[in-house]
């Protein structure tokens, strides 16, 4: 089987460099940390070439008192 590759993308490579190293060490995959912004749906393929699986784990949060938040949003 061909080797597995993982590209971790964040606006700052420094933010995910440790995660890429840990992923490579723990699971034996080739992992790299790349700075970039993947809000554009075609950006991953343009930046990385063929993408078999794309996991977008971006978080969005709201700063407010719990009682003022909408749990359905």
Provide the pLDDT for residue 9.
83
Tens digits of per-residue pLDDT, 39-61?
776 777 777 777 777 777 776 66
User: Does residue 28 surpass a pLDDT of 80?
Assistant: yes
C-alpha span between 21 and 29 (Å, rounded): 10
Which 3 state secondary structure label does DSSP give 9? strand
pTM score of the predicted model: 0.58
Q: What is the mean pLDDT of residues 10-16?
A: 79
Question: What percent of the chain shows pLDDT beyond 90?
Answer: 0
Q: What is the mean pLDDT of residues 21-28?
A: 88
Phi, psi torsion values for 23, nearest 5 degrees: -60, -45
């Amino acid at each position: 089987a061909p080797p597995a590759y993982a590209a971790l993308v964040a606006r700052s490579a420094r933010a995910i460099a440790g995660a890429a190293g840990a992923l490579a060490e723990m699971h034996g995959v080739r992992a790299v940390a790349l700075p970039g912004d993947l809000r554009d749906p075609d950006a991953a393929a343009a930046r990385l070439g063929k993408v078999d699986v794309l996991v977008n784990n971006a978080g969005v949060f709201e700063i407010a008192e719990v009682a003022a938040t909408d749990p359905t949003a």
